[in-house]
Structure 1
């Protein structure tokens, strides 16, 4: 009597499926094929006992070369970003303004100090007053200084340093320099003042007006 030999049935591992009903093994196979054909085919994934392993079929020398290229490109991107950020900063322009350091109750403009009196007197007294302060009756060297005097004096009349010996002589400043006649002087007298209309006018020596003293200042503050 021959007994039938029963061959043990092969144990088939349970198959996992995704939501679409496709086996997960085929899906991982497709993923492996895709990564192998990617622009950096250095790694691909294989499923064994439900564990992912990273396998590198490329030689170490080639990997090191690629690492070096990546590092160089990263450094170049960082350097470019820093350069762009620096170029966007606005240029710092150094501007220097000049101010005269003047005594109390004096007004600084440019490299000069000016004193505007609040009292009135004749031209001679005004001249002596400025001399005691180691100054002179006001002298302007350019239009900027003249415009400053006009703005600051308000509506009052102020003696300034222009004078002459007679109508036949030129106008001179207190330091004896000749006036360049850049601004015409009104009137026929020998002593000048800035009138309430900001013109340079002439008057007799004994007329009482306010006065302006001026002096150069050797202490200049630059900032």
Structure 2
């Protein structure tokens, strides 16, 4: 019985193979050599394009260029990133001069804001304490200057008669250099 089944299956299989070969022959006879040549050229061009793309990508990786490489702004530990800067909010309280020296030791300066958004960011993160920022003047008759010696544009009014500016809940105020306050340092982000 198994032999009959195997003979039937084998003959059935051979019939299918013969039919397939006949159909394949008919299809190949119906396809002109010009069409086959066209298909061959398209396949060849596709293969060459894939090889070119692979070669280009491998050269880019070898030369150190990475495509679609994301950039992330990184700030040191305990610093907070905002925009293109990193900000440090101190816990200690010292005078303005010590605060600036402390910022310089961290490769920064007392904070300078360049937009209302940066100022609002500093107000939000400073908490209830007053913090020194990088504005100073020689006397109440002189203009306010940032620690990089650029003149302050007075976009936000500075209250008080002191020579050093700090950020309070009311905005920017001023006090004498020797008053102890927390401070805010700022510096540019690094990109990796």
- Classify the TM-score, shorter chain: 0.5 to 0.7
For the residues of structure 1 that align with 2:114 and 2:108, how far apart are their CA atoms?
A: 15
Matched, 1:149 2:122: yes
Given the alignment of the two structures, is residue 187 of structure 1 paired with residue 160 of structure 2, yes or no? yes
Identify the match of residue 216 of structure 1 among 170, 173, 188: 188
Q: 1:214 to 1:125 in 2, by over 3 A?
A: same
Which residue number in structure 1 is paired with residue 7 of structure 2? Answer: none
Among residues 111, 120, 126, which one is paired with 2:84 in the alignment?
A: 111
Deviation at 1:168, TM superposition (A): 1.7
Change (3 A) 1:187 1:135: same
Alignment of structure 1 residues 1-223 onto 2, 5 Å: 100-195=73-168, 197-219=169-191
Q: Which protein has the bigger helix share? A: 2
Name the TM-score, length of structure 1 as normaliser.
Answer: 0.53
Unaligned runs of 5+ in 2: 1-69
Offset at 1:141?
0.4
CA-CA distance at 1:100 after TM superposition: 2.7
Structure 1 runs of 4+ aligned residues shifted over 2 Å read 97-100
C-alpha distance in structure 2 between counterparts of 1:168 and 1:151, whole Å: 31
Unmatched 5+ stretches in structure 1: 1-96
Structure 2 distance, partners of 1:182, 1:118, is 28
CA contact (8 A) 1:150 1:198 kept: no
- Asked which structure has the greater RCO (Cα within 8 Å, sep 6+), the reply is 2
Give TM-score scaled by structure 2 length: 0.61
How far residue 155 of structure 1 moved from its aligned partner, in angstroms, is 0.6
Tell which structure's C-alpha radius of gyration is larger. Answer: 1
Is this contact kept in 1: 2:112–2:186, CA < 8 A?
yes
- In structure 2, how many angstroms separate the alpha carbons of the residues matched to 1:162 and 1:98? 32
2:125 and 2:115 map into 1 onto residues whose CA distance is: 16
Shift of 1:134: 0.8
RMSD over aligned Cα, in angstroms? 1.6
Could you say what secondary structure the match of 1:159 adopts? strand
